[in-house]
């Protein structure tokens, strides 16, 4: 029985993680960032709290030019998007617009990893 | 003409393919413009959003942006992929530009100070008050009791109307703008060395350059899109080298091969030492020097041998001692400069905002003149501009106290005559004597010599150095502020506040760093009762009795058309950049003397329409703004800061910017995302200093200079060199300029924001 619950938990966790990738195309209504010390910048906090994600970002093109978390995720208080959105990508990357209806993909994030931004995780 | 999304994407693909294949220059901006935007300056997508062609409102790079509007509201922003400046890429500030149009602090109606309080007024009340008060001051105390203080963010047309009103009609040369605080030393450098302001090359040189020599510029944060172009050049060509001279390690260091981390204010010796090594190791272009260069010590002509003698003192060891860097690094930098065929120098406020700003500009130019690395692909001595229209509006438009439109000066009788004729005023109406430069202007507000001032699109009550000294003068004078946002530190002490149309709500022209003038479309109606600054100024002119020469300004185009007449036949000829043409293209780089001229990529050489082949007689470059066509190498001694560190103030204070904020935060401070990047004011402290002072990140420290003190949060980080602190100046609640010194460069009159002496106390 214990194994059943453990398996169920793992399946639910996997579903959540996989949603994190598959459902990354649009921001979710009602996203809420945990209440934290808002005197800190995203980077100050996340370099300690989520060091792997921070490192992925730091090594990415966005990290290279110091375009911070807020660009995709909002400021955390007034605006917060747990996932990025294609519309936000398009603002700065107008030269890379894609007609998704002509492809088998639905979102920039189908090909670009969310934090490293690498193409097909290459 | 509206295009379907399909057309839009097809054209983008063409553009992208052209860029990838490196054939963008074959098509040129015109070809793309014709394909995309014909009679109008917008396109409509399938969702009914109209995308209007414009230019970014922030730094001097001049990125093309498209402002999305639906149902009369701004709904989005995109990089303009057809604009070769940025090829669609935007930085973080531009990304939120459309949101600033509807920011909560937009000023929506005129206000007049009544019983000490700013109170809503009608336009007629406000403009009548301004006109009558200005007329009264002019009549009672003379025209020089009035002043105009403008901005490198104002459109060229706005500055032009102000210049015409104040210099040509009121009759005072007290016309200044905040480019005095950022670019005046670059102007001084270009004019003294080459005879004419602004760079010789363009951004096109970036993709052909093999060595970037970056001095006093945090390009990554201050000019992110340009930085991306440099980084991309290096990514694609790993042999490309980047040398940085700066007191701080900045994000630009991520791409640096060599960093000379100098003591603030002591970098002149390095540049002279590099010049010496170039000569000693025979890395100079003797033919170019012979043909195109004169030598001067600043007061008289000298010989090449005199110059060599002057340089004798500047051994790498001497410079290393002066500047606090390793001698071998100076040699490395010099050899890279001398041995790399294509070199671009780039610099910004770290060079300009210095009491030796003009000297340092001259010294950088010297390196290019010694090596002939100028006026050809991949080479230039290229000053980076801070504001989007400091070049176009203020430097070219003549919006400083010694200038007239079209690279003219008030001291030149012929120049005064030419402009007076265009303005339809007697030549004697324009005074031959320059007016008060910015610091002197604000000083005169304090002494009462200037009694009335019109401030447009800038916030001096936060941005003037040694601020405490000047605040009372601003409060005492009759001060009119035309702004899109309120309150700012300045608008809240004004007597009259006039709501100005913001970017996107007005059309006009910006001229960026690379001599490119670009049209910005009006996509929206002005918010509230806001009006275009040019109309506001013309209205005041009419109410002051100058209607005859301002009533023709019924459109922005009418102003631009009059302005470009001032440029005809000048080195910065914009005659071919008519309003209708600018609406279609992604800017034109002057000189552009006729409507069929494509613009100029390199000045003073073949391809420049004013290059005099006959006079040049075989020379590759002819600096036609100099009497004999020769540029000048200046023997400029090393000169330290006005306020060196001392026993009482042992730490060097340097100030500057962060990427996410713009100047005094009236715009970017309204965007929560940008605020999140750095929520509070702070000071960067080197870890060794912090350890010695017992200070940790987020501790409060007091910074004390001779002029004032400020308590801010410490950020311990290996960025400033030991013995130096860095304080960004954006936050209005923490006025950094209380600390800065108001000493100015004797030539350019630009203040030394970059160096002061301070001490730091843990609170």
DSSP labels, B226-277: HHHHHHHHHHH-TT-EEEEE-SB--GGGGG-SEEE-PPTT--HHHHHHHHHH
Residue A46 tokens, joined: 């996340």
Q: For the whole model, what pTM was predicted? A: 0.92
Residue from A89, A94, A96, A101 whose CB has the most chain B CBs within 10 Å, to mutate: A94
Q: Quote the percentage of chain B above a pLDDT of 70.
A: 95
pLDDT at B40 (0 to 100) = 57
- Owning domain of residue A98: 42-122
With CB atoms and an 8 Å threshold, state whether B89 touches A87.
no
Contacting residues for B464 by C-beta, under 8 A, at least 6 apart: B181, B438, B439, B442, B470, B737, B742
Residue A104 included in any domain = yes
Residue A100 included in any domain = yes
Residue A112 included in any domain = yes
DSSP 8-class letter at B542 = I
Given a cut of 60, whether residue B93 has pLDDT beyond it is yes
With CB atoms and an 8 Å threshold, state whether B673 touches A65.
no
Sign of CA dihedral B17, B19, B23, B26: positive
Residue B592 included in any domain = no
pLDDT tens per residue across span B311-320 = 999 999 999 9
Which residues of A fall within a CB distance of 8 Å from B92?
A: 67-68, 71
pLDDT tens per residue across span B182-211 = 999 999 999 999 999 999 999 999 999 999
Given a cut of 80, whether residue B16 has pLDDT beyond it is no
Residue B275 sits at the vertex; the CA angle it makes with B274 and B280, to the nearest 5 degrees, is 95
How many domains is chain A partitioned into structurally? 1
Residue B583 included in any domain = no
Beta strand extents in B80-215 (DSSP E only): 111-114, 117-120, 146-150, 175-177, 211-215
Residue B489 included in any domain = yes
> Do the beta carbons of residue B307 and residue B632 sit within 8 Å?
no
With CB atoms and an 8 Å threshold, state whether A93 touches B89.
yes
Residue A20 included in any domain = no
Given a cut of 90, whether residue A90 has pLDDT beyond it is no
CA distance B54 to A22: 36
Q: What is the complex's ipTM, to 2 decimals?
A: 0.84
> What is the pLDDT of chain B when averaged over all its residues?
94
- Measured between CA atoms, how close is A76 to chain B, in angstroms? 8
Cis peptide before B591 (omega within 30 of 0): yes
Model confidence at B120, in pLDDT bands (50, 70, 90)? very high
B42 and B116 together in one domain: no
B331 and A CB contact within 8 Å? no
CA distance B655 to B675: 19
Option in B5, B81, B659 nearest A95 (CB): B81
B443 and B477 together in one domain: yes
Residue A72 included in any domain = yes
Residue A117 included in any domain = yes
B153 and B191 together in one domain: no
Residue A51 sits at the vertex; the CA angle it makes with A49 and A55, to the nearest 5 degrees, is 145
CA distance B755 to B653: 6
- Owning domain of residue B215: 184-384
How many domains is chain B partitioned into structurally? 4
* Parallel, antiparallel or unpaired: strands B146-150 and B175-177: parallel
B242 and A CB contact within 8 Å? no
With CB atoms and an 8 Å threshold, state whether A91 touches B77.
yes
Which candidate, B389, B419, B414, places its Cα nearest to that of B173? Answer: B419
Given a cut of 50, whether residue A13 has pLDDT beyond it is no
CA distance A51 to A60: 14
Which residues of A fall within a CB distance of 8 Å from B78?
A: 90-91, 94
First to last CA, chain A: 41
pLDDT at B38 (0 to 100) = 42
With CB atoms and an 8 Å threshold, state whether B673 touches A71.
yes
Residue A14 included in any domain = no
> Looking at chain A, which residue has its C-alpha nearest residue B68?
A91
pLDDT at B33 (0 to 100) = 33
B238 and B365 together in one domain: yes
B427 and B520 together in one domain: yes
With CB atoms and an 8 Å threshold, state whether A68 touches B660.
yes
Domain boundary at B72, B101, B130, which?
B101
> Looking at chain B, which residue has its C-alpha nearest residue A43?
B677
With CB atoms and an 8 Å threshold, state whether A65 touches B9.
no
CATH code of the domain covering residue B79: 2.20.25.90
Which residues of B fall within a CB distance of 8 Å from A91?
A: 76-79, 90, 95
Option in A67, A75, A95 nearest B675 (CB): A75
With CB atoms and an 8 Å threshold, state whether A95 touches B12.
yes
Residue B245 tokens, joined: 């001279």
pLDDT at B177 (0 to 100) = 98
B327 and B293 together in one domain: yes
Which candidate, B535, B518, B569, places its Cα nearest to that of B406? Answer: B569
| Chains A, B: CB pairs < 8 Å | 87
CB atoms < 10 A from the CB of B26, how many? 9
pLDDT tens per residue across span B393-411 = 999 999 999 999 999 999 9
Residue B669 tokens, joined: 């401070």
Cis peptide before B484 (omega within 30 of 0): no
- Measured between CA atoms, how close is A19 to chain B, in angstroms? 26
pLDDT tens per residue across span B482-496 = 999 999 999 999 999
Find where tokens 């030419």 sit: B418
CB atoms < 10 A from the CB of B6, how many? 10
B678 and A CB contact within 8 Å? yes
B220 and A CB contact within 8 Å? yes
pLDDT at A30 (0 to 100) = 73
Residue B465 included in any domain = yes
Residue B253 included in any domain = yes
In whole angstroms, how far apart are CA B116 and each of A116, B106, B445, B494? Answer: 55, 22, 19, 10
Number of H helices, E strands in chain B: 26, 30
pLDDT tens per residue across span B27-52 = 222 333 333 444 457 788 878 999 99
Option in A38, A74, A90 nearest B673 (CB): A74
Q: Quote the percentage of chain B above a pLDDT of 90.
A: 94
pLDDT tens per residue across span B230-268 = 999 999 999 999 999 999 999 999 999 999 999 999 999
Domain boundary at B553, B585, B603, which?
B553
B237 and B354 together in one domain: yes
Residue B311 tokens, joined: 């340089």
Residue B1 tokens, joined: 């003409």
Which residues of B fall within a CB distance of 8 Å from A97?
A: 9, 12
B79 and B129 together in one domain: no
b/e map B199-213, b = 16+ CB within 10 Å: bbbbbbbbbebbbbb
Residue A33 included in any domain = no
Residue from B14, B87, B673 whose CB has the most chain A CBs within 10 Å, to mutate: B673
pLDDT tens per residue across span B334-392 = 999 999 999 999 999 999 999 999 999 999 999 999 999 999 999 999 999 999 999 99
Which residues of A fall within a CB distance of 8 Å from B91?
A: 65, 67, 92
Segment 100-139 of chain B within 8 Å of chain A by CB: none
List residues bridging with B78 in a β-sheet. Answer: B66
B231 and B304 together in one domain: yes
CA distance A74 to B599: 41
Domain boundary at B76, B101, B126, which?
B101
With CB atoms and an 8 Å threshold, state whether A68 touches B672.
no
B190 and B124 together in one domain: no
B321 and A CB contact within 8 Å? no
B354 and B374 together in one domain: yes
Which residues of B fall within a CB distance of 8 Å from A59?
A: none
Contacting residues for B75 by C-beta, under 8 A, at least 6 apart: B49, B68, B69, B98
> Looking at chain B, which residue has its C-alpha nearest residue A98?
B9
DSSP per-residue codes, B275-294: HHHHHHTT-S-HHHHHHHEE
Residue B761 backbone dihedrals phi, psi, to 5 degrees: -120, 135
CA distance B602 to B380: 9
């Amino acid at each position: 029985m214990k194994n059943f619950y453990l398996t169920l938990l793992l399946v639910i966790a996997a579903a959540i993680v996989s949603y994190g990738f598959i459902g990354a195309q649009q921001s979710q209504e009602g996203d809420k960032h945990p209440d934290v010390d808002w005197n800190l910048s995203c980077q100050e906090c996340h370099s300690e709290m989520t060091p792997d994600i921070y490192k992925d970002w730091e090594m990415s093109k966005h990290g290279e030019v110091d375009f911070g978390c807020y660009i995709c995720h909002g400021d955390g208080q007034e605006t917060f998007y747990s996932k990025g959105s294609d519309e936000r990508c398009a603002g700065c990357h107008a030269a890379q617009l894609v007609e998704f209806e002509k492809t088998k993909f639905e979102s920039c994030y189908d090909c670009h990893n969310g934090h490293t931004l690498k193409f097909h995780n290459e | 003409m509206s295009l379907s999304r399909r057309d839009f994407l097809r054209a983008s693909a063409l553009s992208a393919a052209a860029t990838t294949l490196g054939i963008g220059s074959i098509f040129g901006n015109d070809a793309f413009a014709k394909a995309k935007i014909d009679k109008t300056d917008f396109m409509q997508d399938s969702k009914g959003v109209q995308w209007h062609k414009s230019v970014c409102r922030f730094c001097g790079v001049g990125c093309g942006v498209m402002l999305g509007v639906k149902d009369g509201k701004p709904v989005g922003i995109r990089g303009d992929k057809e604009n070769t400046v940025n090829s669609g890429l935007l930085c973080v500030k531009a990304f939120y530009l459309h949101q600033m149009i509807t920011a909560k602090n937009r000023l929506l109606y005129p206000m007049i100070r009544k019983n000490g309080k700013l109170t809503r007024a009608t336009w007629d009340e406000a403009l009548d008050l301004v006109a009558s008060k200005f007329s009264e001051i002019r009549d009672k105390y003379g025209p020089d009791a009035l002043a105009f203080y403008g901005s490198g963010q104002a459109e060229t047309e706005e500055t032009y109307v102000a210049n015409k009103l104040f210099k040509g009609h009121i009759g005072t040369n007290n016309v200044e703008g905040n480019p005095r605080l950022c670019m005046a030393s670059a102007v001084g450098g270009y004019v003294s060395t080459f005879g004419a302001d602004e760079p010789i090359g363009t951004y096109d040189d970036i993709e052909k350059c093999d060595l970037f020599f970056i001095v006093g510029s945090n390009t990554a944060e201050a000019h992110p899109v340009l930085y991306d172009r440099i980084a991309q050049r290096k990514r694609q060509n790993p042999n490309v080298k980047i040398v940085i001279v700066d007191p701080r390690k900045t994000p630009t260091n991520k791409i640096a091969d060599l960093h000379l981390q100098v003591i603030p204010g002591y970098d002149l010796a390095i540049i002279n030492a590099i010049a010496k090594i170039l000569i000693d190791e025979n890395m100079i272009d003797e033919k170019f020097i012979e043909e195109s260069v004169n030598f001067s010590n600043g007061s008289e002509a000298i010989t090449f041998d005199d110059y060599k003698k002057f340089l004798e003192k500047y051994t790498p060891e001497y410079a290393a001692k002066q500047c606090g860097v390793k001698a071998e690094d100076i040699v490395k930098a010099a050899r890279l400069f001398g041995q790399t065929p294509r070199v671009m120098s780039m610099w910004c406020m770290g060079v300009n905002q210095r009491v030796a700003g003009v000297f340092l500009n001259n010294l950088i130019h010297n390196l290019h003149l010694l090596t002939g690395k100028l006026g050809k692909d991949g080479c230039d001595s290229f000053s980076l501009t801070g504001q989007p229209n400091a070049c176009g509006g203020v430097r070219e438009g003549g919006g400083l106290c010694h200038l007239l439109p079209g690279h003219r000066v008030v001291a030149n009788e012929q120049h005064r005559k030419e402009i007076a004729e265009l303005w339809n005023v007697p030549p004697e109406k324009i005074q031959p004597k320059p007016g008060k430069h910015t610091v002197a202007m604000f000083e005169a507000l304090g002494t009462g010599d200037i009694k009335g001032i019109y401030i447009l699109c800038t916030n001096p009550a936060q941005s003037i150095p040694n601020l405490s000294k000047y605040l009372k003068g601003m409060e005492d004078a009759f001060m009119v502020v035309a702004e899109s946002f309120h309150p700012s530190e300045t608008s809240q002490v004004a007597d009259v506040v006039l709501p100005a149309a913001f970017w996107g709500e007005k059309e006009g022209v910006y001229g960026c760093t690379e001599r490119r003038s670009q049209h910005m479309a009006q996509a929206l109606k002005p918010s509230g009762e806001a009006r275009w600054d040019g109309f506001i100024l013309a209205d005041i002119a009419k109410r002051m009795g100058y209607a005859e020469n301002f009533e023709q300004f019924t459109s922005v185009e009418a102003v631009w058309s009059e302005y470009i007449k001032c440029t005809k036949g000048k080195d910065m000829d914009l005659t071919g950049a008519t309003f209708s043409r600018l609406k279609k293209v992604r800017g034109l780089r002057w000189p552009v003397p006729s409507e069929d001229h494509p613009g100029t990529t390199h000045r003073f050489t073949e391809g420049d329409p004013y290059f005099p082949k006959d006079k040049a007689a075989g020379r590759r470059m002819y600096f036609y703004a100099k009497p004999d066509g020769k540029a000048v190498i200046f023997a400029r001694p090393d000169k330290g800061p006005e306020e060196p560190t001392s026993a009482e103030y042992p730490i060097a204070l340097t100030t500057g910017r962060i990427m996410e904020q713009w100047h005094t935060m009236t715009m970017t401070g309204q965007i929560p995302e940008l605020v999140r990047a750095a929520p509070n004011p702070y000071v960067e402290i080197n870890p060794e200093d912090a350890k010695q002072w017992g200070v940790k990140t987020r501790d409060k420290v007091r910074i004390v200079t001779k002029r004032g003190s400020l308590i801010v949060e410490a950020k311990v980080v290996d960025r400033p060199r030991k013995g130096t602190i860095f304080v960004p100046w954006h936050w209005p609640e923490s006025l950094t300029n209380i600390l800065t010194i108001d000493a100015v460069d004797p030539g350019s009159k630009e203040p030394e924001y970059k160096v002061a002496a301070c001490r730091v106390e843990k609170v």
